[in-house]
């Protein structure tokens, strides 16, 4: 009895070799694409490594040393951290930083939102007004701080001049421990509000008009459309602005250095200003690095908290999970 053996025909062999060749060619293309992707990422990774990661690690190492930028570094262990916990000036600067951050960010985001609503309409000159509100953001902080320092001048400033015209004696603003921080908050919001406004505008223009028109037809008022359609759909935009604004506010430096130098009586000395003073005025680089690590940890913690509680607000329960 004859047995049937499977015989591979020339056509089958050709197809098999062709499939292997195509698979090998496809794998080669994928390898080339992967290599090209890594090559494109290499400059960014190198920049991050040289200008971010290595300095952060080096700064953390400095926290265990006593160094005046000139002499040799002396290892002191956790002495800088113990000094920091007992440093009343550090705790004052931490309170000043929180005061500035929580005073400037919520008010700035709120005003930017309403400005975006006001400028998100077809009216004459709307592009001009958008430009006017955005211009301070692209202007140098030092230049704006110098102008506002003159505006706040107790004798020659425009604000006190206007108050005097209506019978009010204005405060000494930047020379007052009570008014210096609110004055800087107003200046900072005036400068930075245009950026948040522009992001809000982009978010508003991405909202489908069909939803608003359908709500209008159903009889929804302007406030109802704002509350139930605009605000929920702007949640991701608002979340982004809040996170970036908090990070930026906790690192503010230029306006404090130019307008008050941290005074009067350290009432406007923030953590970044305190880092600068310790490192480059008092030449205590190890202690300055310790304060910098605390600031880094604080920013990370606040951002993590915002991310944790903001996920459920932005994306609902699924995002929180």
| 152 CA to centre of own chain | 27
Q: Is 310 exposed, middle or buried (CB count within 10 Å of its CB: 0-12, 13-18, 19+)?
A: buried
pTM of the model: 0.84
Structure tokens at 187: 């200046």
- Of 178, 266, 223, 187, whose CA–CA distance to 170 is shortest? 178
Closest by alpha carbon to 193, among 100, 93, 106, 313?
Answer: 106
Of 251, 242, 239, the residue nearest 299 (C-alpha): 251
For residues 88-106, one letter each, b for 16 or more C-beta atoms within 10 angstroms of the residue's C-beta and e for the rest, the string is eebeebbebbbbbbebbbe
Q: How high is the mean pLDDT of the chain? A: 88
Q: For domain 78-320, give the CATH superfamily.
A: MetI-like (1.10.3720.10)
Give the pLDDT confidence score for residue 317 in this predicted structure: 56
Check residue 121 and give its pLDDT: 85
Of the candidates 218, 213, 188, the one whose C-alpha atom is nearest the C-alpha of residue 111 is 188
* pLDDT single digits (tens) 3-45: 445 455 554 455 555 555 566 666 767 888 888 888 998 998 8
* Three-state SS letters, the chain: CCCCCCCCCHHHHHHHHHHHHHHHHHHHHHHHHHHHHHHHHHHHHHHHHHHHHHHHHHHHHHCCEECCCCCCCEECCCHHHHHHHCCHHHHHHHHHHHHHHHHHHHHHHHHHHHHHHHHCCCCCCHHHHHHHHHHHHHCCHHHHHHHHHHHCCCCCCHHHHHHHHCCCCCCCHHHCCCCHHHHHHHHHHHHHHHHHHHHHHHHHHCCCHHHHHHHHHCCCCHHHHHHHHHHHHCHHHHHHHHHHHHHHHHCCCHHHHHHCCCCCCCCCCCHHHHHHHHHHHCCCHHHHHHHHHHHHHHHHHHHHHHHHHHHHHHHHHHHHC
Please, are residues 175 and 157 in contact by the beta-carbon 8 Å criterion? no
pLDDT at 16: 53
Q: Are 104 and 185 in contact (CB under 8 A)?
A: yes
**Residue 283 region, left (φ>0) first, then alpha (ψ -120 to 50), else beta?**
left
Question: Which residue numbers in the chain have pLDDT < 50?
Answer: 1-4, 6, 11-12, 319-321
Residue at token pair 């600068």: 276
Q: What is the pLDDT of residue 320?
A: 47
The pLDDT value recorded for residue 89 is 96
How far is 271 from 275, CA to CA, in rounded Å? 6
> What are phi and psi for residue 208, nearest 5 degrees?
-60, 125
> With b meaning 16 or more CB within 10 Å and e meaning fewer, what string describes 278-304?
bbeeeebbbbbbbbbbbbeebbeebbe
């Amino acid at each position: 009895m004859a047995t049937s053996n499977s015989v591979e025909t020339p056509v089958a062999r050709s197809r098999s070799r062709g499939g292997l060749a195509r698979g090998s060619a496809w794998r080669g293309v994928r390898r080339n694409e992967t290599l090209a992707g890594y090559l494109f990422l290499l400059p960014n990774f190198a920049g991050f490594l040289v200008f971010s990661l290595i300095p952060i690690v080096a700064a953390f190492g400095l926290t265990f040393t006593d160094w005046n930028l000139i002499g040799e570094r002396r290892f002191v262990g956790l002495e800088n951290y113990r000094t920091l916990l007992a440093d009343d000036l550090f705790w004052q600067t931490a309170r000043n930083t929180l005061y500035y951050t929580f005073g400037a960010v919520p008010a700035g985001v709120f005003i930017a939102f309403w400005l975006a609503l006001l400028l998100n309409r077809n009216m004459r000159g709307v592009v001009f007004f958008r430009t006017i509100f955005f211009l301070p953001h692209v202007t140098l902080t030092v230049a704006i701080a110098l102008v506002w320092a003159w505006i706040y001048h107790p004798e020659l400033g425009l604000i006190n001049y206007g108050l005097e015209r209506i019978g009010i004696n204005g405060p000494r603003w930047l020379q007052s421990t009570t008014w210096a921080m609110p004055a800087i908050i107003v200046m900072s919001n005036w400068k930075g509000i245009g950026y948040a406004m522009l992001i809000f505008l982009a978010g508003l223009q991405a909202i489908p008009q069909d939803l608003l028109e359908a709500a209008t037809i159903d009889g929804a008022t302007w406030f109802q459309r704002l509350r139930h359609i605009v605000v929920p759909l702007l949640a991701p935009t608002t979340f982004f602005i809040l996170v970036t604004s908090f990070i930026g506010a906790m690192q503010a430096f230029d306006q404090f250095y130019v307008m008050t130098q941290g005074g009067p009586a350290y009432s406007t000395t923030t953590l970044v200003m305190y880092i600068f003073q310790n490192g480059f005025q008092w030449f205590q680089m190890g202690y300055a690095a310790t304060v910098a690590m605390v600031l880094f940890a604080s920013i990370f913690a606040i951002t993590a908290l915002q991310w944790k509680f903001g996920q459920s607000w932005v994306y609902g329960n699924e995002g929180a999970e």
